[in-house]
Amino acid sequence: MSIEKQFTDHMKKLKAYNEATSLLYWDLRTGAPKKGVDLRSETIGTISSDIFIMSTSDEFGSLLSALEEKKAELDPVMLRSVEEARKQYDLSKKIPPEEYKEFVILQSKAESVWETAKDTSDFSLFEPYLEKMVATTKKMIGYWGEKNGSAYNTLLDQYEPGMTTEILDEVFGQLRNRIIPLVQKINASTSKPDTDFLYKPFPKEAQREFSNKILEQLGYDFEAGRLDETVHPFMIGINRQDVRITTKYDEKDFRTAVFGTIHECGHALYEQNIGEDLSGTFVEGGASMGIHESQSLFLENFVGRSEKFWENNYELLKSYSPEQFGSVPQQDFIRAINESQPSLIRIEADELTYALHIMIRYELEKGLFNGAFEVKDLPQLWNDKYEEYLGIRPSNDAEGVLQDVHWAGASFGYFPSYALGYMYAAQFKNAMLKDLPNYDELLAEGNVAPIREWMTDKVHRHGSMKKPLEILEDATGEGLNADHLAKYLEEKYSKVYQLV
Amino acid sequence: MSIEKQFTDHMKKLKAYNEATSLLYWDLRTGAPKKGVDLRSETIGTISSDIFIMSTSDEFGSLLSALEEKKAELDPVMLRSVEEARKQYDLSKKIPPEEYKEFVILQSKAESVWETAKDTSDFSLFEPYLEKMVATTKKMIGYWGEKNGSAYNTLLDQYEPGMTTEILDEVFGQLRNRIIPLVQKINASTSKPDTDFLYKPFPKEAQREFSNKILEQLGYDFEAGRLDETVHPFMIGINRQDVRITTKYDEKDFRTAVFGTIHECGHALYEQNIGEDLSGTFVEGGASMGIHESQSLFLENFVGRSEKFWENNYELLKSYSPEQFGSVPQQDFIRAINESQPSLIRIEADELTYALHIMIRYELEKGLFNGAFEVKDLPQLWNDKYEEYLGIRPSNDAEGVLQDVHWAGASFGYFPSYALGYMYAAQFKNAMLKDLPNYDELLAEGNVAPIREWMTDKVHRHGSMKKPLEILEDATGEGLNADHLAKYLEEKYSKVYQLV
């Protein structure tokens, strides 16, 4: 059997195993009976561990080396698949197996300790674990070798290939300098939107029906996916023709389901529209966390929270909850769903202040890994930064440094992707306007297809054939530029808060 | 690592893989999006093939041999697990791999040819495939070695360990001699139940709610299972604490869902109540097809179609479809749901005539494998037997010899299990009456727990630690005895049709 065929078979086999684990996970979250959960978790563990073994076997390593020796003969998809496989292979394989296993155990302990620490708002419980995780991650960076000149850049590259602190410092700095004054102006504004009606009862079944209508309108393919209910919403690709999303219904705040569904729909449109030529390969997924997030945020904010979108959909929404919205003019509705208010919890933050939450985490991670400070300094630094950027100070660590699960899972370097997603989205929108000058009219007519097709052409179909910054440049004609997001936010919030 | 530990690990790993394939299958049937089906089928194929490889590896063979050498030291569960593993191992391993593979391909082709043959009612299309399947199966029996003295007994033993044509000839003969006169008397009876009301509309949602109530009453554990909707209802054990059932709702015949759900509930109660001491081993499943079917048929017929059961539930049923049942006295309802009428299609047959359908198939299979006749003789023989036993003759092969999928899947020897299930069920019921003389009152009160607990004690908890006939003897104090089913049917139908 040719080595190409062996490699293709290996990819197909991994796809099958990943389909199984994805479905086992999806089912666990959506409807698996309670008593079966423990055995289910063991099953997921067993199959995941076999996937790991298959992906890191010496045989597979030799296969990769053999393919790398004949790079010139490989077609582009095969070439990029080999590159991706090599990256993942080295990440796992360069760590001595015993240390890797210990790290997995440490992570699992750390997560459970973090839960207790958060519940009791006691950072000192979590501190020794976080210290160990940072130390072990630094050791692993030693095994991997530094990428792009610093320890933290090595981590960034794992989530956002090619991203560095040099780029982030610049764009985050620019963005912060535009967002903070805007937040201050909003605080000072006397024209605040009335938001009481947002919290009026909206029955779950009606929310579900409305969400389904919106998904159809946005082009989500229900023949290649389905919508279910979970505590924490997510999108999951079971296979390339089976891309599922979940949502959560809050009868006292319809925004959870409606904007949550639109957000996950953005992720799903990406996965549903990856090129068929990439089918069954290692480049069939999204290009990066940041590019994925750009798709969900674009749809949620640039489409879902826009005035034009609701020109076409407000009457429909009203029909599902007439008492709630009957006496609310469309203009007031738009202002209300775009309310901005500094807050302490990242996942509850609004579109404007969200990036500030991310910058704080980024600066702390960077400092931790590049040696500027230590784990024990985190709570104080965290609180100081919140005061500096958002003008509010956490009163305890549960609403401060302990709020996110990421560090407990050793996902250092992940946070910046969220803010990058915002910036990418704004930049895509800006470029799209050149090709679709009638963007506003399209939205107002409910004709989203040309917008989605633009994204498919520029982003979706390429899967991870291109690096994130390549996608950005090819689509927009420029490198990462914070100005687009800043401008968008300034225009939007000036209108919502009638700033002068 | 000790060989016991290696074996236990192997069983656990197979359990995990089986959980994955079961869920992939369940999802495919209940709600997987259309476009993902092809990839899903490939995934199931990939993982099933890996399960086959794991179950038939030389390493596993050596492990089995090593365990067999120290049989005396193994605990009973381990010992039976090794026996089960050996049986399956030999079944697969004694066939040369190339021939096995060809057979799998032949089966898959035969199934698709059978579909066309059935659609066009053309046996000649299917004939050459069936001939090849019979010939190949005979060849395999050569590899396996004859069991219990004849080729067909070898096949019977695979579905119903220990079962032989000697036993079946006797009990089927006895049963037939009691059923046929009964069928004739019913045909001649002038007191037929009125069944018009059965076909009145009963909304799906109401059927679902009623089915859920009945499942709860019967002791189905919803924390270790769930009820969903499929075209062909089934029970599937995902893991030992996750035993799911499905049903089908026909708004013009509520019996499909109600009796179908009760039937699958019988299978599920078996799986939900297998002893915890068998957890994670090869003896965690049911003892045989026949014993499994005894549980579903016991619940469906001996409980679900009994007068006493409806004494407790008819008012409840009425409340879900008042117009349909409002003016139907309970007595008439009972007669209607127990209507009997000779028919051509097995899966639509009633409780009384069902066993005759099975006997016909049994006699044909036995003749095929023991050399009495050939594939080409089947259509004529089939039709003659239907005329002889049921007094009706198929007008074409679609409603005759082509109706079942079993032969297209080479499942020769499977059919008798259905009729055995009926006989086992009647025999269990008879034995149960000695321990629970108040059986009727329990049902009438809706107190099914003692009945279910009896079955758990005698059947469920043993998993496949015992052979089917051992379970039967231990539970009832005698060997297979057709008289119990015959008596039950005579009493029941004399009442329904007011026979003298």
Q: What is the pLDDT of residues A370-380, one digit of tens each?
A: 999 999 999 99
Which pLDDT does position A437 carry in this prediction? 97
Which pLDDT does position A31 carry in this prediction? 92
Angle, helices A354-369 vs A151-159, to 10°: value is 140
Residue A342's pLDDT band (boundaries 50, 70, 90)? very high
Nearest CA in chain A to B36: A241
Specify the 3-state DSSP secondary structure of B462: helix
Residue A393 phi/psi, 5-degree rounding, is: -130, 125
The Cβ-side half-sphere exposure at A248, using a 13 Å CA radius, reads 11
Residue A140 is assigned to a structural domain of this protein: no
Question: How close A279 gets to chain B, by Cα (Å)?
Answer: 11
Q: Is A341 found in the same domain as A214? A: yes
Nearest CA in chain A to B19: A43
Catalytic residue numbers of B, as ranges: 264
Question: How close B26 gets to chain A, by Cα (Å)?
Answer: 11
Q: Compute CA distances A34 → A383, B114, B464, whole Å.
A: 39, 41, 26
CB contact under 8 A, B241 and A38: yes
CB contact under 8 A, B33 and A239: no
- A373 and chain B in contact, CB less than 8 A: no
- B216 and chain A in contact, CB less than 8 A: no
- B53 and chain A in contact, CB less than 8 A: no
Nearest alpha carbon to residue A412 among A373, A364, A354: A364
What pairing do the DSSP bridges indicate for beta strands B227-229 and B242-247? parallel
Q: What is the mean predicted confidence (pLDDT) over B315-326?
A: 97
d(CA B422, CA B290): 8
Question: How close A258 gets to chain B, by Cα (Å)?
Answer: 22
d(CA A19, CA B333): 48
Instruction: For residue range B242-266, list pLDDT tens digits in order.
Output: 999 999 999 999 999 999 999 999 9
Nearest alpha carbon to residue B244 among B45, B453, B30: B30
Residue A418 is assigned to a structural domain of this protein: yes
Q: Which residues of B touch A19 (CB under 8 A)?
A: 24, 39-40, 43
In sequence order, the 6+-apart residues with CB closer than 8 A to the CB of B352 are: B179, B182, B183, B186, B340, B489, B493
8 A C-beta contact, residue A198 and residue A254: yes
Specify the 3-state DSSP secondary structure of B245: strand
Specify the 3-state DSSP secondary structure of A236: strand
Q: Which of B33, B35, B224 sits opposite A36 (nearest CB)?
A: B224
Instruction: For residue range A165-213, list pLDDT tens digits in order.
Output: 999 999 999 999 999 999 999 999 999 999 999 999 999 999 999 999 9
First-residue to last-residue Cα distance in chain A: 71
d(CA B182, CA B365): 26
- A217 and chain B in contact, CB less than 8 A: no
Q: Is A468 found in the same domain as A342? A: yes
Any idea how long chain A is?
A: 500
Q: What tokens does A305 get?
A: 């929270």
- A15 and chain B in contact, CB less than 8 A: yes
- ipTM greater than cut 0.95: no
With 80 as the cut, is the pLDDT of residue A330 above it?
yes
CB contact under 8 A, A19 and B43: yes
CB contact under 8 A, A27 and B23: yes
8 A C-beta contact, residue A39 and residue B240: yes
- A49 and chain B in contact, CB less than 8 A: no
Q: What tokens does A175 get?
A: 């963005």
- A470 and chain B in contact, CB less than 8 A: no
Q: Is A211 found in the same domain as A345? A: yes
d(CA A28, CA A228): 12
Residue B99 is assigned to a structural domain of this protein: no
Residue A141 is assigned to a structural domain of this protein: no
Q: What is the DSSP string of B432-489?
A: HHHH-TTHHHHHHHT--HHHHHHHHHHTGGGTTSS-HHHHHHHHHSSS--THHHHHHH
Nearest alpha carbon to residue B314 among B303, B326, B302: B326
With 80 as the cut, is the pLDDT of residue B500 above it?
no
Which pLDDT does position A108 carry in this prediction? 86
Q: What tokens does A182 get?
A: 């805007």
- A224 and chain B in contact, CB less than 8 A: yes
Write out the H or E segment, with its range, that includes residue A207. Answer: helix A204-218
With 90 as the cut, is the pLDDT of residue B104 above it?
no
Instruction: For residue range B133-151, list pLDDT tens digits in order.
Output: 999 999 999 999 999 999 9
**Averaged pLDDT of chain A:** 96
What pairing do the DSSP bridges indicate for beta strands A242-247 and A235-239? antiparallel
Q: What tokens does B124 get?
A: 């000649």
Q: What is the mean predicted confidence (pLDDT) over B353-367?
A: 98
Q: What is the mean predicted confidence (pLDDT) over B58-67?
A: 96
Which pLDDT does position A101 carry in this prediction? 84
With 90 as the cut, is the pLDDT of residue A477 above it?
yes
Which pLDDT does position B211 carry in this prediction? 98
Which pLDDT does position B98 carry in this prediction? 87
Q: How many CB atoms lie within 10 A of CB A378?
A: 23
Q: Which of B38, B223, B240 sits opposite A39 (nearest CB)?
A: B240
Specify the 3-state DSSP secondary structure of B87: helix
CB contact under 8 A, B39 and A221: no
- B36 and chain A in contact, CB less than 8 A: yes
Catalytic residue numbers of A, as ranges: 264
- A12 and chain B in contact, CB less than 8 A: yes
Instruction: For residue range A37-81, list pLDDT tens digits in order.
Output: 999 999 999 999 999 999 999 999 999 999 999 999 999 999 999
Q: Is A325 found in the same domain as A193? A: yes
Q: Which of A27, A46, A224 sits opposite B16 (nearest CB)?
A: A46
DSSP A147: B
With 80 as the cut, is the pLDDT of residue A500 above it?
no
Which pLDDT does position B250 carry in this prediction? 97
Nearest alpha carbon to residue B410 among B114, B89, B149: B114
Nearest alpha carbon to residue B197 among B327, B314, B88: B327
CB contact under 8 A, A36 and B222: no
Q: Is A124 found in the same domain as A218? A: no
First-residue to last-residue Cα distance in chain B: 71
Residue at which a domain ends, from A135, A170, A204: A135
Question: Which amino acid is located at A301 in the chain?
Answer: N
Q: Where are the alpha helices (DSSP H) in B31-75?
A: 37-55, 58-69
Q: Is B464 found in the same domain as B325? A: yes
Residue B207's pLDDT band (boundaries 50, 70, 90)? very high
Angle, helices B123-144 vs B378-390, to 10°: value is 90
Q: Is A369 found in the same domain as A284? A: yes
Q: Compute CA distances A67 → A64, A86, A105, A163, B146, whole Å.
A: 5, 10, 34, 27, 51
8 A C-beta contact, residue B282 and residue B84: yes
Q: Which of A32, A47, A225 sits opposite B16 (nearest CB)?
A: A47
Residue B120 is assigned to a structural domain of this protein: no
Q: Is B187 found in the same domain as B85? A: no
CB contact under 8 A, A39 and B19: yes
**Averaged pLDDT of chain B:** 96
CB contact under 8 A, B20 and A32: no
Specify the 3-state DSSP secondary structure of B398: coil
Nearest CA in chain A to B48: A16
With 80 as the cut, is the pLDDT of residue A316 above it?
yes
Q: Which residue bears the tokens 């037997």? A: B385
Bridge partners (DSSP) listed for residue B235: B245
Which pLDDT does position A104 carry in this prediction? 87
Total domains in the fold of chain A:
2
CB contact under 8 A, A42 and B16: yes
Residue A427 is assigned to a structural domain of this protein: yes
CB pairs A-B closer than 8 Å:
109
Q: Which of B13, B17, B223 sits opposite A33 (nearest CB)?
A: B223
Q: What is the mean predicted confidence (pLDDT) over B200-228?
A: 98
Nearest alpha carbon to residue B219 among B175, B271, B151, B260: B271
With 90 as the cut, is the pLDDT of residue A105 above it?
no
Q: How many CB atoms lie within 10 A of CB A260?
A: 22
Bridge partners (DSSP) listed for residue A246: A228
Nearest alpha carbon to residue B382 among B371, B398, B369: B398
Q: What is the mean predicted confidence (pLDDT) over A442-448?
A: 96
Q: What tokens does A250 get?
A: 């809050």
Percent of chain A with pLDDT over 70: 100
CB contact under 8 A, B46 and A16: yes
Residue B109 is assigned to a structural domain of this protein: no
Q: Is A168 found in the same domain as A99? A: no
Residue A411 is assigned to a structural domain of this protein: yes
Query: Which of A90-104, B154-168, B361-375 is predicted with the least confidence, judged by mean pLDDT?
Result: A90-104
Q: How many CB atoms lie within 10 A of CB B80?
A: 20
Which pLDDT does position B385 carry in this prediction? 97
Q: What is the DSSP string of A6-28?
A: HHHHHHHHHHHHHHHHHHHHHHH
Q: Is A381 found in the same domain as A340? A: yes
Q: Which residues of B touch A27 (CB under 8 A)?
A: 23, 27
- A32 and chain B in contact, CB less than 8 A: yes
Residue at which a domain ends, from A83, A111, A135: A135
Instruction: For residue range B452-469, list pLDDT tens digits in order.
Output: 999 999 999 999 999 999
8 A C-beta contact, residue B264 and residue B245: yes
Instruction: For residue range A110-155, list pLDDT tens digits in order.
Output: 999 999 999 999 999 999 999 999 999 999 999 999 999 999 999 9
Question: How close A34 gets to chain B, by Cα (Å)?
Answer: 5
In sequence order, the 6+-apart residues with CB closer than 8 A to the CB of B267 are: B235, B245, B292, B295, B296
CB contact under 8 A, B19 and A40: yes
8 A C-beta contact, residue B3 and residue B63: yes
d(CA B118, CA A298): 53
Residue A241 domain boundaries: 146-500
Q: Which of A27, A43, A239 sits opposite B39 (nearest CB)?
A: A239
- A201 and chain B in contact, CB less than 8 A: no
CATH of the domain at B280: 1.10.1370.30
Which pLDDT does position B87 carry in this prediction? 93
Q: How many CB atoms lie within 10 A of CB B4?
A: 17
Nearest alpha carbon to residue A5 among A109, A78, A87, A91: A78
Instruction: For residue range B433-445, list pLDDT tens digits in order.
Output: 999 999 999 999 9
Q: Compute CA distances B478 → B171, B431, B472, B473, whole Å.
A: 14, 10, 7, 5
Residue at which a domain ends, from B50, B70, B93: B93
Q: What tokens does A272 get?
A: 């549903």
- B51 and chain A in contact, CB less than 8 A: no
Nearest alpha carbon to residue A109 among A126, A92, A97: A126
Nearest CA in chain B to A237: B36
Q: What tokens does B320 get?
A: 């879900």
Q: What tokens does A343 get?
A: 């807050």
Nearest alpha carbon to residue B459 among B413, B487, B485, B424: B424
Q: Which residues of A touch B32 (CB under 8 A)?
A: 238, 242
Nearest alpha carbon to residue A168 among A363, A434, A379: A363
Q: Is A283 found in the same domain as A428? A: yes
Specify the 3-state DSSP secondary structure of A215: helix
Instruction: For residue range B72-86, list pLDDT tens digits in order.
Output: 999 999 999 999 999
Nearest alpha carbon to residue B44 among B62, B26, B69, B61: B26
d(CA B195, CA B328): 10
CB contact under 8 A, A34 and B240: no
Q: Which of B27, B31, B238 sits opposite A36 (nearest CB)?
A: B238
Q: Is B169 found in the same domain as B47? A: no
Which pLDDT does position A396 carry in this prediction? 97
Which pLDDT does position B100 carry in this prediction? 87
Q: How many CB atoms lie within 10 A of CB B70?
A: 11
CB contact under 8 A, B24 and A23: yes
Q: How many CB atoms lie within 10 A of CB B376?
A: 12
Question: Which amino acid is located at B158 in the chain?
Answer: Q
Question: How close B42 gets to chain A, by Cα (Å)?
Answer: 8
Q: Where are the alpha helices (DSSP H) in A459-496?
A: 468-476, 483-496
Which pLDDT does position A100 carry in this prediction? 87
With 90 as the cut, is the pLDDT of residue B10 above it?
yes
Q: What is the side-by-side order of every strand in the sheet holding A242-247?
A: A227-229, A242-247, A235-239
Q: Which residues of A touch B16 (CB under 8 A)?
A: 42-43, 46-47
| Per-position b or e across A352-363, b if 16+ CB within 10 A of its CB | bbbbbbbbbbbb
CB contact under 8 A, B33 and A242: yes
